[in-house]
Amino acid sequence: MKSSIFLNNVLLMLMWVILTGDSTFANFTFGFLLSFVILRIITVNREDTKYFRLVPRVIAFILFFIYELVLANLQAAYFVIVSHKNLKPGIVGVPLDAKSDIEITFLTNLVSLTPGTLSIDVSNDRKVLYVYSMHIKDRDQFVKNIKNGFEKRILNITR
Amino acid sequence: MTLNFYLTYILLPILIISVILIFIRFLKGPSIADRVIAIDLMVTCSIGIIAFVSIISHQPTFLDITMIIALIGFLSIVAFSYYLEKRNKND
Amino acid sequence: MIDIIIGFLATIGVMFIFLAAVGFIRMPDTYLRMCVTTKASTLGSGLILLSAAVFFGENGVISRVIAIILFLFLTVPVGAHLIARVSYFIGVQLWKGTIMDELKGKYDKQSHELHSERELKK
């Protein structure tokens, strides 16, 4: 049901672009947002409204990810330029709540993309993700950060 | 100071210096994993260099080469790690 | 005006790549090097490609650049994961300042299977 609303959204966006005859990137975005609002207004079925909560969450997730990326890059820059003598690296096993393939793939990719952490491997029964981190102040705090930050948001989107 | 001047004489040399630094690590690298990462980083640097060249010479076609080089870099990483793991298994 | 935006994006991208190269020289062991370099260089080349997209400003170029950036962001973590895994297998030593290693002893040397903690207790 979710995907059919998404298809309707894309179709309406293409309609808008063809009718206005202006195929720039800004016009595509505007058409998408316009058809999103129109679909939100005309949908009355209770089950279908899940899609409309999904899109703002995806946008919020992308913004959060960019913020995290820049912050972590600056931290890595500090360690590279100043000194690496007081680093405390280590490998931590983080228990996983994500079950399906796509959730685990997203989680490991995002953990790898933020500098300072690197996902090494997932255990064969998919219960533990082993993360290498550049700087661990407190093990429990570190595990909690990953679980509450990335994993919770990914599960919010996919479930 | 025009954009072309800035890109050609300030930013491009910095990129080339960083390629040289990576190459020093490629020669020194204690383990073979370091050398593989050095290849990956050089591919990423070359993507930046090609993008600069395409800006300087007004040729958007060069960006296609970027895509192909990124693909080849990823394939080489996968192949290297596959054979390293196999070699370790047979010992 | 548009020149300033292009110059700004390109400068930040080059700074990130240069930082990755310096970190690659200075860091003491393989895993730390991997941590610092892979992502900083990805972000840097992504920003440089974005500046190229702003410079040309055509639809074809922008869509191509977005495709390349998405491709980089998908493949670079996979490559880093493969190399990290293999370097743990072939016995690359961790730095002497490492404070914990929970992966130790979890790999099966023969079949290359990775056990979680629950399986070890049985």
Query: Best of A74, A107, A121 to disrupt the C interface by mutation (most C CBs within 10 Å)?
Result: A121
Cβ <8 Å between A118 and C119: no
- For residues A27 and A84, state if they share a domain: no
Mean pLDDT, chain B, as a whole number?
A: 87
Q: In this structure, are A37 and A67 located in the same domain?
A: no
Beta strand segments in chain C, E: 100-101
One domain, residues A96 and A124: yes
Q: Both A35 and A63 in a single domain?
A: no
Distance CA C62, CA C58 (A): 6
Q: Give exposure, A19-42, as e/b (b: 16+ Cβ within 10 Å).
A: eeeeeeeeebebbbeebbeebeee
Residues A37 and A71 in one domain: no
Residue A72 lies in a domain: yes
Do A93 and C102 form a contact (C-beta atoms < 8 A)?
yes
Alpha-carbon distance of B62 to B48, in angstroms, equals 12
The total number of structural domains that make up chain A: 2
E strand or H helix at A92: strand A90-95
Which of the 8 DSSP states describes residue A43?
Answer: -
Do residues A120 and A146 share a domain?
yes
| DSSP code for A135 | B
Bridge partners of A131, per DSSP, are A92, A119
Please report, as a single letter, which amino acid is at residue A84: H
* Residue B13, token pair as written in the block: 């040399």
pTM here?
0.83
Sole residue written with tokens 């228990």: A95
How many structural domains is chain B composed of?
1
Look at residue B31 and give its three-state secondary structure: coil
pLDDT in tens, A40-96: 888 777 666 777 777 888 888 889 888 888 888 888 888 888 877 777 788 888 888
List the single best residue of C2, C36, C42, C55 to mutate versus B (max B Cβ within 10 A).
C55
User: Are the C-beta atoms of A40 and A8 separated by less than 8 Å?
Assistant: no
Token pair belonging to A130? 């082993």
pLDDT digits (tens, 9 = 90+) for A2-41: 567 788 888 888 888 888 887 777 888 888 888 888 888 8
The one-letter amino acid code at A94 reads V
Q: Quick one: pLDDT at residue B13?
A: 92
Indicate the pLDDT class of residue C106, thresholds 50, 70 and 90: low
> Could you list the residue range(s) of the whole structural domain that residue A17 is in?
2-43
pLDDT tens across B59-81, in order?
A: 888 988 998 998 998 999 999 88
| ipTM given for this complex | 0.86
A87 and A120 co-located in one domain: yes
* Cα–Cα dist C111/C18, whole Å: 40
Whether residues A26 and A97 share a domain: the answer is no
In this prediction, residue C121 carries a pLDDT of 45
Shortest CA gap A80–chain C (Å): 5
pLDDT reported for residue A48: 67
In terms of residue numbers, what domain contains B43? 3-90
